[in-house]
Structure formats: C-alpha cells, structure tokens
Structure 1
Amino acid sequence: MSLIRLSLASVSLLALGAVTAPALAQEAASQAETADVTATGTFGDIVVTANKRSENAQRVPIAMTAYSGDQLKALGVTDATQITQQVPGLQLNAWSPNVTIFNLRGISQNNFTDYLEAPIAVYVDDAYMGSMNGLSGQLFDIQRVEVLRGPQGTLFGRNATGGLIQYVSTEASRAEFNGYVNAGYERFNRRAVEGAVGGSLTPGLRFRVAGRVTKADGYIKSAAALPGVFDGNGQDLGAENGWALRGTVQADLGPDGTLDLWVKHSEDNNVATGGYVFDNCNLQDNGYCTTDAAGLGNGSGGVINGITGERASPFANFSNTPGLFNRTTDILQGKLQYDLGGVKLTSITNYTALNKSYQEDGDALPVTVIVFQTQARYKQFSEELRLSGEADRFRWQTGAYFLDMKIKGTMATIGAPAVGAALAAGLPGVNSAINEVYDLHSRNWSVFGQAEYDLSDKLTLIGGLRYSKDTKSVDYSSSVVEGSQSAPIASDESFSATLPGASRISHGDIAARVTLNYKPNNDTLLFASWNRGIKGGNFTLNGYVTADTFQHRPETLNSFEGGIKWSNPARSLRVNATAYHYIYDDYQTFALIGGVPQVGNSNAHATGAELETYFQPNKHININLGATWEVSRVDTVQAAGSQFLSVLVPGASVPQYCTDQNDGTYFCNYPAKTVSGARFPNQPRFSLNYVVRYNFDALAGNISAQVDGVWYDKQFLEVTNGQSSLQPAYNVTNTSLTWTSDNDRFSLQVFGRNVLNQAYRAYTLNLGPLGTTSVYARPATYGVGATIKW
C-alpha cells in the first residue's frame, strides 16, 4: 500500500519539470579596509561599495552585513551559498546545485523553476548574474562579500527588490609578487585545494590567477528499501565534483585610469545529486496522507521508507535511477575607470555563457515512477556606464544600463505522469515522455541617478531614481511523445490564440530611494529611508496552465526603514540596529494548484527588526551577535483546488474532502480555495547568529579557538504554509581551532561543522494527499586544513 501511495506521490513531481577612483584610490581603499579590520580585530569594520564608491560600512545608511576574505576564511566559507549563517535575515533554499534560492527577510523566488530571476539580486565583481543556475559555486580568493537588505534598485537596478548579495574577488592591484595555497580534507571524503598568485608583469601592468578544486562523496547514502528485492542504486547523493579558474589583469591608463580584464571558467562534472526523501505523512488505510481543508499535507511523522512505510533516515537514498548534474560557466568581463577631471567614468561590460544538464529520480523509490531531465543554455550580455562626481557638500552618480538574456532549454518527464498524458492523448502509454522546449528572451534597459546633499555638517539628504524597462518573449511547446508518435499539449501559440499577447511582456517601472542621515558625532549614524523596489513579471512554462495564468504580473515593494549604527570611541563595541515595514503589491506567490505548479500574485506586508553587535573587550576576544524578528502576512495564496486520485485500496475509507466516482478514481474538492494570512517562506519569527573567538600567542604563532553558528525559530518552507512544510526550530553550531605563524605565512586548522548533528530540511515540497518530498542539509562534518602564503 505504501509503495502504491508513494508511487502516486511521485507523479505530482511533474511540478518539478512542468564607482571608484583609479589605481591609487583603489590601493588606498584596500589599505583602509585592512586598517579598519585590524583596528577592531578579526571581525571589525571593512570598506564596502554599497553606494558604488568606497566607504566604511559603518557610515553607509543601509542595513547591511559585510565580511572580508579573512573573515570568511575564519568562518570556513568556501561556497557562495555558505554565507547565510552569519548574515541576519538571510537563508538558503536548495535541493541540489541545480537551483539556488536565496531568501532575505522572507523575500525569495519561492519557485523551483530555473528560468526565472530571483528578487534577491546576486552580483559578482560588479556584474549581475541573471540565471539561478549560476548562483552556487566555489568561493575562493575573495576580497569581501556584501549583503544589502531591503530594495536596492536605484543603483543596482534589476530585481534587487528584497536586497542583494555582492561577491568581490581579489583584484590584481598588488605590484609585489604574492600568493597562497590552501588544502583541506573533511568528512565524506571532501578534498579541496585552492590557491592564487599575482604581482607586477611590468610597471603599470599587474596580474592575478586563482583557482579551486573540490571533490566529495555524497552524504545521503544509497540504501536498500527492501534488501534482496529493492536494493540501492549505489549512488550517494549530495556529492561535489567541480573546479574553477579565474584570471585578471589590471593596467594603469596613465595617472588617471585603470582597466581590469577578467576571464573566469568553472565546471561541475557528473555531480551525484537529484533525489528526495518522503516525510511528514499521516498515512491512512486508503494509502493517502491526511490534508487540511486547503488540500495541503498536515502530517508531522518524519521520513518514511517508500516500500515498507516504516520510519527511515533522512540521509538514506532509496532511488533506482542515478541523478546527475553538469554545468560549465564562462565569463568575460572588463571594468574601465577613468578620471575625466572632476568627473569619474566607470564602464562595466560582462558576457556570460552557462550550459547545464540535470537529471533527478523524482519518486525516491527503487522503481521508475518519475524521472525528470532538463538542459539549459544561458547567455547574457550587460553593459553599465556610470558618471560620478562630488563637490564640497554634494555627491552624485548617474548612468545607464543594458542587459540582454537568452535561455534555451528542454525538459523531459518520464514515468507515470507521461503515461497518463499519453493515454489521455490516445497513445498506448507504454514508453512515453512529456517533452517541453522553450526559448526565453529578456531585455532590460534602464537609466538611473542618485545624489547626496549635506544639509548641514550633521544632516544629509539622499535621493535616487531609476527607470527600468523589461521586454520579454517566449517560444514554448509541450507534447507527449511515444516512439514516433506525438500529441501536442500546449504552446505559446495556443495560449496566445486564447489570450492575445500571452507570450509577450513589455513593462516599465520606477525604483526610487529617499534617505535622511543624521550624524550627531563621528561614532553614530541615524538614518530613515523609503525605498521602492520592483521585479518584472514572467511566464509559467507548463502545458497544463491556462492562458490567463501563463503570465504573472510584476511585483512592487515599498520599504520604510529606520536604523542606527553606533560604536564607542575606542571602537571596541559596535551596535547596528534596523527596523522596517514592507508593503508589497502583487507579491509573486507559488503553489501547486490541481497538481500544476503556478505563480500567482497577492498583496503582502511584513514588519521586522535586526540587531548586530560586534564586541572586542581586548585583543584576545571577539564576540559577534546578530538577531532578527519579523512578522509577515500574505493576503491570499491559491490552494490546491480540486484533483483526481486513483483508488489504491478498494473498500477502504474515502479520503477526506473526496468522493468515490465508482470508476477507480476519487474526485477531491478542497473547500478552502485560498490560504489567507500565510507567512513568508523561510521566515522564522526569531533568529540568532553568533561568533565567539578567543586567540592567544603560543607555539611561535597565534592560536584562535572559535565557536559560531545560528539558531532559527520554527518556519514554513513554502508560502502555502502547509503543516508538513513546517520546519521546527533548530540550531547549527560550528567550531574551529587555528594556529597561525608569527610571520602570517603558515596556518593550520581543525574544524567541525554542525557539530551537534542537527537534522534539518534544506528544501520541502508539499504534495497534499500524495506526501511531502524533502532534502535534508548536511549532517555533522569535521576536517583539517593548511595554508601557505608568500
């Protein structure tokens, strides 16, 4: 009974298929950053470019968290997605490297489709990464990471509704020969080597080359669902197998300018991923899980074995079809900075090409019920031109931006969903597949400006405006294929025939900012701001949506914030606090409606506060604490509606809200057609992050002991807020012990991650009566590392 029930559960996984100055100024900013960090210990202030010019983070009127490269090393961050634990309000939702979804203050792309753009913009070396396929990856030789909370659309523009994350690589600004090599090993046979080398080639010309290689076995172990009958496939999921290489050259253009050229390449090859576990199902005698009135699973029983129905480990893989993930990314980029005589010109040009292929066993069973395959070819070109200048009391920036993105992809769904589609189309339904092909083209151009005016020595007014125009078009078709026969399901032409213009979007809107700063003294900044963020509409590429749900509308966020940044005169204590209120118009929601994934729109609002403290009572101790509080409400999210279910156990009780059709099916009509008052996904009411670090001199060097981590209150992992997607409160604690030589050339580290071995979900999809699919994050790991610098 459990096998049949969970086989049907997997059917619903069809949803898964269906600024600155030239060289001398840059060097001065780098020196200022080093001085700031040294002045307050390992986790001190750093210089950031949140306003696209170098400033101390404590003087920027934006709720933000920034870490230097050394700070990231102390925290053990080696992947672009690992920064979440020490950034208040930031979380990650991911089931594999296939798609990465950042969540900031509860704002995220709460959808698993990889052709959409997220409302948390990600920038790498000043260039926007438009594809969710390209957000995960190796993090190495990094200068700093900045996380800006709240809308940042004035200067950064596109889809920075909820905020942005900016990764800044170490540039080729140092003339002396320098570099490092780091190697590490940890549990699950994870091996990593990274290094960098750079220096002067000739006077006025410098270079830097950096790279990283990582390999690891999976932590979700292949297991036999029924030994001797249904054995495992031998693939352990959650593995790593990738490398990345980055080269940059910086040239001085006389005394007034610099030119930076970047070449980046990364690969992930045959990564073992693409599988799930079933959990939180209250199993009934009819083979289905209980639901609430909205058709959402309301169980809390934990992970189960799909064959026996017994409790199972969240780190067991019962699938029979191996998953895989392959990705290559190539980036060419140039940055020109030139002083035109009181006016500074900045030009940033980026070209990105990304190819991805992915396969998953979507049923978590040792029989083939559903296999999903996807391929995507993504290309983007962007250009930003910016002018900036300043006078005694006035600072300004203005510019223009252009972005052209193309993504061509295919999706194939094999198994039970395709059988049903084939039978409905009059095909035999023996060896069928649902094939989908799409070509999505998106263009954006914008013009922007921001100005700061000192009303007095203590009071500053900031205003910014950006007009952005989106133009999108899609060619889409879906069909069921069996051998040489095929039958159409839907296409952009069929949707446009019903609703003219369904496959085209043209929309312009304005992002804006007004901020008032008050500096009563050199150690205190008070600010109040209004920010208007925007995110464009897009398409739901699924053959079973209707013409009027093929598109979803753009969303708009009005944010009202107030905050304080304070430090004592000795700079041994810093306190940053922010309070905010969000008003969302047409917030983009995601739900499974009748088993079909769809994006809709709803109004929403949220209120929250954040607190960060950095305390260094003496040169030996650092204590960092961060805390968040937030309440939110999404007015309405469309619920499951109605659906048909097969009769699994004749004569058993009829599932609640369903009626027996006497033809081998149930028709389920859930009375709650919408979910009202839901909370944002991945939004705990409270959270707390912490770092406690103690260092002392010994063994011809310095030894530092560190404990860091994060605690999250309970939270829903989906915007529908079904009970089975509720993640209980949990804590992740990490530890490390590091020795660094007196000359800072050598270091050794032993560490542990998630040392309390907390089992918590990184991803969940509530499938109503068919169960809940989840992926659990990595359990406790421990390892060693060593670094040599020169």
Structure 2
Amino acid sequence: MKSIQTTRLTRQVRLALFAGATTLMASGAALAAEVTDASGDAQAQTSTTDQSQTSAKTDSAAMQLGNVTVTAQSRSQQVQEVPIAMQVITAQTIDKLAATDLSKMDMYVPGLSVDGDQPTQPNFSLRGIGTGDFGIGTDAPVGVYENGVYQGKTGGALLMFNDIDRVEVLKGPQGTLFGRNSAAGAISVTTAAPSDQFEANARLRLGNYGMRYGDGVLNAPLGENVAFRLSFVDNQSDGWLRDAATGQHFYKNDDWGTRMQFHWNAPGDTAVNLAWEHERLKQPPRATIGVSPVPPYPELPSTTPDYSTFIDPRNAPLYNEAVGARESRSYDSFVLRVEHPLPFGDFTSLTSFQRYHTYNREAQEGTDRIDLYFDDVNIERHKTWSQEFKLAGKTDLADWVAGASWYRDDGRQTSQINFFTDSIDTLLNNLGIAPGGLYGPLTQGLQAAGFQYSLLGDPWQENMNNRNVAKATAVYGDVIWHLNDRLNLTTGVRFTRDERDFSWYTPLRVANELDATLASLQSLGLLDALGVPIQTFQQNIYFTTPQTLEHAVGLNRSWNDTSPRVVLDYKLTPDVMLYASAAKGYQAGGFNALEVGTVYRPQTVRSYEAGIKSWFADYKLLFNASVYYYKYSNLPNLTLVSNGGGNGDLPQYQILPSDQEAKGLEFEARWQATDSLRLNAAAAYIDQTYSSYKTAEGVDLSGQPTGLPQWSATVGADYVVHNIAGGSLDFTLQGAYTGKTRCNSASALQGSCLSTLPFNLGGSHARTDFHVGWSSPNVPWSVGLFVNNVFDTQYVTGLNNIVTNVLGVTSAGITAPRMWGVEANYRF
C-alpha cells in the first residue's frame, strides 16, 4: 500500500499565461511519454554509486534542518526547491513546544500573528495583512487549509493540533495554488494519513494549573488494500486566573477532538480516503480585567478617563460577572479525497462538508456592579460545502497544475448585547438622555407612593441577526516552465467569481421581567397617571436602524477577478537558488454585519518579492532570505468609532477601507554546528504605513504607521546528549521577540498604545520555551519535561474602550504566565 499524501501586469500577459497553460495541458500526454524515456536514460548515464551516497548524506542532513517534502505548490517538492517565502512547522517542533494550536507558537514564525484569545473568533495576520472583523459578511485574507480544505475564518480556523504531520506557512498571495483566494498567504495544515503499518501510541501530559492533556493514535491495516487511522486529543486545565468575587476560574481548557480515516487502494491505482473529524470546546470566555478606578456605589465613574490613575491589569482583581459566560464550539468535517493517475498526469477530487456552531459570551467592562453591567455575545451556525478538481502533471518542458473549485457557505450570525435596567440608567444618565436615569427614579417614585414594584435588576437584551450565503467558483492554473537546467519560469493565473446574499434583521429588545412589571403598571393605570407611555420602555437603544426592525433587509452583490502570478528562479549551484516574483492577491468584497447596507469593495494586494534559498553542505548550513514590497487597496480596518455611526453617542465597531504599502525583509538560518548541537534563527522586518486613510472621526493617517511592529525574531538551540541510560537526552531552548507597536494619531482611541498609562501598553514582547526529553530506540516509552514562558513574563494585550465613554469603565487583557509540565509517551 502506498502512503497517502511597481507596475501592474497587463491583461494581455494574463491571457497569454492562461493560454500557455491550456496549450501545455492539451499536449501533456505526448510529452509525458517522451520525457519518461529521456529522463531514465539521462539518469543512467550520469549517476554513480559514490555520487548517490554523497547525495543521500547531503539530503539527509538538509532534511534534518528543515528541507522536508511539502505540497506548497500543489505538487510534492523539497521546501528548498519552492520559490516562495515559507516556513514549515514540523510535528517534532510542535511536540517540543507543547503547543496545542497555532496561536501557542505563532511568535516562532516571524511575520505571522495568530490571536487565539477567542478560539471561536481567531484573527490571523501575515506580513501585516489581516482583519479583526468578527462579522460573517467578509472573508479573511489569510487562508487556513486542513489537508487542502478551506477552513474559513471562525469555526474551523483554529482547531487543536491533532495527529499533525506538518504546518506550511506560505507568505504572499497564493490564489493560483489553492481552491480559495488567499490574498495575504496560506496556512496549510497536513495531518498524518493512514498507512499499511500498524501503529499505536499514547501520550499524557500533567502540569501546573491542573493541566491534563492526552492524545493517541491507532493505525491498523484492515486488509491488503484498506487501512484505518483513529486519533484523539483531550486538553483540560483548571485555569490560571480567578474571579475575585465568585471564585470562577478563567483561561481553563476544556477541548477534545477526534479524527477517523479510512483509506482504500481501489482498482486502477485509485486511492480513496474518507475522513471525519469532530471537535467539542466548552470553556469560560477570555477574561476582561477592569483597569479604570471605580468609586464606591452608587457614585459613577467618569466617562472622561484619567489614564494616569489606571491599575496595572497584571495586579488588578478580576471581576467577570457575565450571566452564562462561556465560549463553545461544536465542529464536524467530512472529507472525501480521490486520487487517480492518468496517462498525462494525476487527477485529484476533494469533496468536503463542514458544519459548526459557536457561542461566545463575555463581559466587557470588568466590574462586579450591576449598574455598570455590559456583555456581548457572538453566535454562529455554518454549513459549508466545497468541491475541487485538480490535474497535475510533469514533462521535460514543464510541471503544471490546473484546477477548478466551487464553494458555498450558508452562515447565520447573531450579534447580541446584554444590559440590566440598572446599567441602562447609567447609560441614559451619561448620554444626557435622562439625567439620573429612568428605571431607578421611577421605582423610587412608585415605592414612595406605596406600590411595591421595582423596575431595577431586570435583564435587557438586543440582537442583530445576519445571514450570509457566499458562493465562489474559480478556475486556476500554475505552470513551472523549465527554460534550461538552471532557469525556471513559473506562470499562473486565477479567474474567480464571488457572490454574496446578505441580510440584516433586528427584533425588538427582549426584557421579559421588565415587560411583566410594565404590564402590571399599565393595567393599574399607573403609567397613564404618570404620563409615561409604555412604548417609552420598549424601544431598542443600540440596534435601532428603522428599516431592519422586525423585518429583514437584504442585499446581494457579485465580483469577478483575474489574478496572475509570475516567478523566475535560477540555480547558481544545485543547492543555491535565486528567485523573483510578482503576484496579485484578491479578496472578495463583503458586508458589515452591524451596519445595515454597508458594502465593502474587494481588497487587492500587489506583491513584488526577491529571495534566495541555499544549502551549504560543507558547513551543514541552511539559509533563506527574501525582500518584498506590498501595495494594498481597500484593506479593511476594524476600528472603534466613538460617535457610534448613527447610534447616537453609543460606540460601535466599523470596518473602514484603507490603502497601505509595506516594505520588508525576512531571513531564516539553520546550522548543524556539531553532531550534537543544532542552531536556528529567523527574523522579519516590515515597514507598513497608510498611503491613504481617514478615520471616522476625520483623523488623516496617511503616511503614518498602521501600528504593526517593525521587528520580530526567533532564535533557538537543540542539544543531544547520547548514551544516557541507554538512550539520549534532547535539550531544546527556543526564544522569540516581537517589537513594540508603532503608534499613530488614532492609537489612543483604539486602545493599542498610550504613553500616559502607569503600565506598559504596546511595548515589545519576548518569550522563552524549554524542553528536555529522553528516548531510546530499545524501549517503547519516552519521557519529557517542558516549560513555556520560562521567565514568567506577562504583558498587557490592549485596552478595551468599547464602553469607556458611556459607562466610564475600561478593561484590558493579559498574556499567560509560566506553564510547565511533564509528559510520558508509549508506543504499543
């Protein structure tokens, strides 16, 4: 059984490239036969036993340093042969860092940022291109794929690592290589596949804060042509932060998942793989720590913050009193992969269906006072279908890939906010709508008159319901033309059509307890006596757009795009390659889920890059570097708008488009210094600025930095001590650094950096991880010790200003403390 596995390009160039790819595929069958014979003769004439042995040793050393086989270009290649800036995260690296998902190790991939504080609403960014938009009306520019299947941006984008083979991080537009557009880059996760060898192993980790982690794999041949693979992972912990009032633990882990795969080597050399994956997450939401001073009740905090009086959230008590607070996800994925060889190439069909349901309810103000209470909820349900057909072939003239894809996502989202009538009184008072409030004074008046009614302490909920039906169809091709033994020209093009049907619907606010009291007052004629109509208490205060109240409003839009890619690579020697590329990235337009009728234009990225990939066998040194220039159009910015954009003085988040540009450089080096010592280093520099952008408040940020840090880097070492109790001790030390936020004129409102705070906000971050493990080829078990965040450094992640100007409170988040644990592995 085999193992499963700055100028704009003109329209004429695009059409020529596509025509060339089509012509090549049409003549591929004849060329394939000729090349097979020719390549066999050439190899027989030039290869010798000594050369083969030397090459094998060189390849083995290079592979140990990261020159592994990847499928970045939809074809199997060594990573050093791929003219794309990319980094590969191996299963061994994941294990040594004890990382449970990509957000736990993104600092070790310079240029990549993964915010996983909310695993059901993660945010990915590559080379400064990303979006914090939590609405379903837009796509993410960083494409996340698992075994070739697009995962969207929420439900399946940040799953736990489960039986992972490798993670490929491809930087720059990748539209001609994947089934979906990936304007910023792609993160391709490849899991282990069924094989014809029996395999069974289990691992257990125990650590501080009640950490309990286990995973396991069973791979079993079921016959001559059938194999089954089962994997599971279970991640539990008690949490490292506790509510000062209730004792509830936050930052707990309660997540488990499983994957089952059947592989069949069908007649005719056809390979069929059917996989089902399930994950269930249910844990407390991220914690928001109040940092603004709150006076004793009933005095209200000022809505004009004095930042010099703020409390360092690393030392402040946590109060998160959100009713029913939790973050949960139920995820299922079904994938059918069929591969069949043809006379002129290989055919692949990839069919998938995904469904998931996410729920995230969290407090936003960081207090335990009901008169300051505010929480919000994000609820999503998605059903996604996709179909991709791909043909790939190789001739003496070129290697080629052509594909067609279809994608449909039916998503429903509810954006919900929750108050109590006490906090609505605070809101009405601070906005000057009802000085002193409404429900409190009315309650006092009723009780003074002898009526024992209270309008305080009643929950108040408002919802915005959205539905998004997104369809995307595309055809694409990518051809590597072998101009001579050293020079290759890669040409690719993608034609895409995107369609979206989007709707907004706002039901009336939900306040059942309040309504029951109001009905009693109405029946007694008290409201009429007071001259206050009951409708005064029944109106929405946040989701107030008239045309969507109690009936849906919908829009539909479609967009077409052609995106080309051109790469030239040249081998100075068999192990040193220079390359230069130009590509266009495209992301479909969309809609603002919270602002009715708002349509975003498509975003585009024009990328120009040059680099080197090299392997110096004599020194056992692998070195890669690249420089690039990006030009963005209509890149979305998630911003907190203080005037609320039509909702009175209530703040809200909006997506505002901007034009940006970036210049950057990156390098990575891996060196086998001695037989026992291996060193690695990588760094990224980026200078990203707005070329044209004005905020909703009218602040012109053109020419100013976007906030992205300029530098990020990682450095590490592995050292092996042999002959210890019949085995080896493997020590790993890895450190990472991210520079400080580059502030601009709008940074204070967005809570990204402030110089007047008594604690550091937006400063540089550093992290160090350590692992030591013992293993032996003679025994089936191994043990290890790991420490993440060795120096126990915690950082403030940003201010949450969403209710600062209306309730007078501000909150913040912090990074995790030191985590340590021991682990044991057993191979059955």
What TM-score, normalized to structure 2?
A: 0.79
1:559-584: CA deviation from partner (whole Å, max 9, x where unpaired) = 00000001102471011001000001
- Counterpart of 1:177 in structure 2 is 198
CA offsets, 1:302-321, max 9 Å, x none? x62xxxxxx55367421223
Structure 1 residue 255, shift from structure 2 partner: 5.1
C-alpha change, 1:255 and 1:479, in structure 2 (3 Å) is closer
In 1, are the aligned partners of 2:390 and 2:401 still within 8 Å (CA)? yes
Counterparts in 2 of 1:633-782, with a 5 A limit?
633-639=689-695, 641=697, 673-681=699-707, 683-697=708-722, 698-715=724-741, 720-722=746-748, 724-726=751-753, 727-743=762-778, 745-762=780-797, 764-767=799-802, 772-782=810-820
Is the contact made by 1:469 and 1:509 (CA closer than 8 Å) also made in structure 2? Answer: yes
Pairwise CA distance, 1:112: 3.8
Structure 2 matches for 1:208-357, cutoff 5 A? 208-223=229-244, 232-254=245-267, 256-269=269-282, 271-279=283-291, 287-289=302-304, 299=307, 304=311, 311-313=312-314, 316-321=317-322, 323-357=325-359
Q: Name the CA distance, whole Å, in 2 between partners of 1:764 and 1:537.
A: 29
How far residue 233 of structure 1 moved from its aligned partner, in angstroms, is 2.1
Could you tell me how far 1:278 is from its partner in structure 2? 3.9
Q: Secondary structure at the match of 2:123?
A: strand
- What is the CA distance between 1:242 and its match in structure 2? 1.2
Distance in 2 of aligned mates of 1:282 and 1:149: 46
Moved more, 373-382 or 486-495: 486-495
Q: Distance in 2 between the 1:314 and 1:399 partners?
A: 55
Q: Is 1:616 aligned to 2:672, yes or no?
A: yes
Identical aligned residues as a percent: 24
Q: Distance in 1 between matches of 2:83 and 2:809?
A: 46
How many Å apart are 1:38 and its aligned residue? 5.1
Aligned to 1:23: 2
8 A Cα contact 1:206 1:251, kept in partner: yes
How big is the shift at 1:241? 0.4
SS at match of 1:756: coil
Q: Distance in 1 between matches of 2:361 and 2:170?
A: 34
1:755 Cα shift? 1.0
Q: Secondary structure of the residue that 1:72 maps to in structure 2?
A: helix
Aligned counterparts, 1:467-616, within 5 A:
467-481=495-509, 482-483=511-512, 487=539, 494=547, 503-542=555-594, 545=595, 547=597, 550-570=598-618, 572-593=620-641, 594=643, 595-616=651-672
C-alpha separation between the residues in 1 aligned to 2:92 and 2:730? 13
Question: RMSD across aligned C-alpha pairs, in angstroms?
Answer: 3.1
**C-alpha deviation, 1:532, in angstroms:** 0.4
* In 2: Cα distance, 1:35 partner to 1:784 partner: 35
Q: How far 1:51 sits from its partner (Å)?
A: 0.4
Structure-2 change in CA distance of 1:721 and 1:690 (3 Å): same
Aligned to 1:669: none
| SS state at 2:193 partner | coil
**2:427 is the alignment partner of 1:412:** no
> Unmatched 5+ residue regions in structure 1?
1-21, 27-33, 224-231, 292-298, 305-310, 642-671
Q: Deviations over 1:436-486 (max 9, x none)?
A: 212111111111111111111111000111111111111211244144675
Give me the whole-angstrom Cα distance separating, in 2, the residues matched to 1:719 and 1:36: 53
**Which of the pair has more CA radius of gyration?**
2
Q: 1:638 offset after TM fit, Å?
A: 4.2
Q: Does structure 2 conserve the Cα–Cα contact (< 8 Å) formed by 1:679 and 1:721?
A: no
Report the structure, 1 or 2, having the larger helix content.
2
Give the stretch that moved more between structures: 83-92 or 326-335.
Answer: 83-92
Q: Structure 1 residues 112 and 95 mapped into 2: Cα distance closer, same or farther (>3 Å)?
A: farther
1:128-176 CA-partner distances (Å, limit 9, x unpaired): 001413222210211111000111111125341111111111000x212
Deviations 1:690-723 (A, max 9, x none): 1111101111101011110201110259994338
User: Could you say which residue in structure 2 is the equivalent of 1:95?
Assistant: 117
Corresponding residue SS for 1:118: coil
For 1:448 and 1:103, the matched residues in 2 are separated by 24
Equivalent pair of 2:273/2:336 in contact (CA under 8 Å): yes
Alpha-carbon distance change, 42 to 465 in structure 1, aligned in 2, over 3 angstroms:
same
In the TM superposition, residue 238 of structure 1 has moved relative to its aligned partner by 1.0
1:189 is aligned to 2:206: no
Cα displacement (A) at 1:511: 2.0
1:498-554 CA-to-partner distances (Å, cap 9, x unmatched) read: xx9972221111222100010121111110000100111211122xx464xx22221
Kept after mapping to 2: 8 A contact 1:502/1:551: no
Q: 1:111 aligns with which of 129, 133, 144?
A: 133
**CA-CA distance at 1:343 after TM superposition:** 2.0
Any idea what SS the aligned residue of 1:494 has? helix
Judged with a 3 Å threshold, the aligned counterparts in structure 2 of structure 1 residues 131 and 685 are, in CA distance, closer, same or farther, namely closer
Structure 1 Cα separation of the partners of residues 492 and 545 of structure 2:
38
Per-residue deviation, 1:751: 1.2
Counterpart of 1:167 in structure 2 is 189
For 2:171 and 2:660, the matched residues in 1 are separated by 18
Evaluate the alpha carbon distance shift between residue 502 and residue 24 of structure 1 in structure 2; reply closer, same or farther with a 3 A threshold: closer
In the alignment, what sits opposite 1:667? none
Note closer, same or farther for the CA distance 1:763–1:468 as it changes in structure 2 (3 Å cut): farther
| Contact kept? 2:290, 2:313, Cα under 8 Å | no
User: Could you say which residue in structure 1 is the equivalent of 2:10?
Assistant: none
Q: Conserved in 2, the CA contact under 8 Å of 1:590 and 1:598?
A: yes
The alpha-carbon distance between structure 1 residues 501 and 413, as it changes in their structure 2 partners (threshold 3 A), is closer
**Higher alpha-carbon deviation: 584-593 or 193-202:** 584-593
Q: Residues 92 and 762 of structure 1 are in contact (CA less than 8 Å); yes or no, is this contact kept in structure 2? A: no
Matching residue within 392, 398, 406 for 2:396: 392
Partner Cα distance (1:276, 1:468) in 2: 41
Q: Counterparts of 1:387 and 1:76 in 2: how far apart (Å)? A: 38
Secondary structure of the 1:722 match is: helix
Q: Does the residue aligned with 1:134 lie in a helix, a strand or coil?
A: coil
Equivalent AA in structure 2 for residue 537 of structure 1 = G
| Counterpart for residue 447 of structure 1 | 475
8 Å Cα contact 2:462-2:543 kept in structure 1: no
The Cα offsets for residues 1-40 of structure 1, whole Å up to 9 and x where unpaired, read as xxxxxxxxxxxxxxxxxxxxx93685xxxxxxx9999534
Distance, in Å, in 2 between the alignment partners of 1:589 and 1:287 is 29
Asked if the contact 1:281–1:289 (Cα under 8 Å) also holds between the matched residues in 2, the reply is no
The two structures have a TM-score, normalised by structure 1, of 0.83
Judged with a 3 Å threshold, the aligned counterparts in structure 2 of structure 1 residues 503 and 720 are, in CA distance, closer, same or farther, namely farther
Cα distance in 2, alignment partners of residues 249 and 421 from structure 1: 60
Quick one: distance in 1 between partners of 2:745 and 2:582? 26
**Larger CA deviation: 411-420 vs 723-732:** 411-420
CA distance in 1, matches of 2:316, 2:330: 28
Measure how far apart 1:254 and its partner are.
Answer: 2.8
AA at the equivalent of 2:561: D
Output the CA distance in 1 between the equivalents of 2:124 and 2:59. Answer: 27
CA-CA distance at 1:342 after TM superposition: 2.1
Q: How does 1:126-205 map to 2 (within 5 A)?
A: 126-172=148-194, 174-205=195-226
Distance in 2 of aligned mates of 1:153 and 1:50? 12
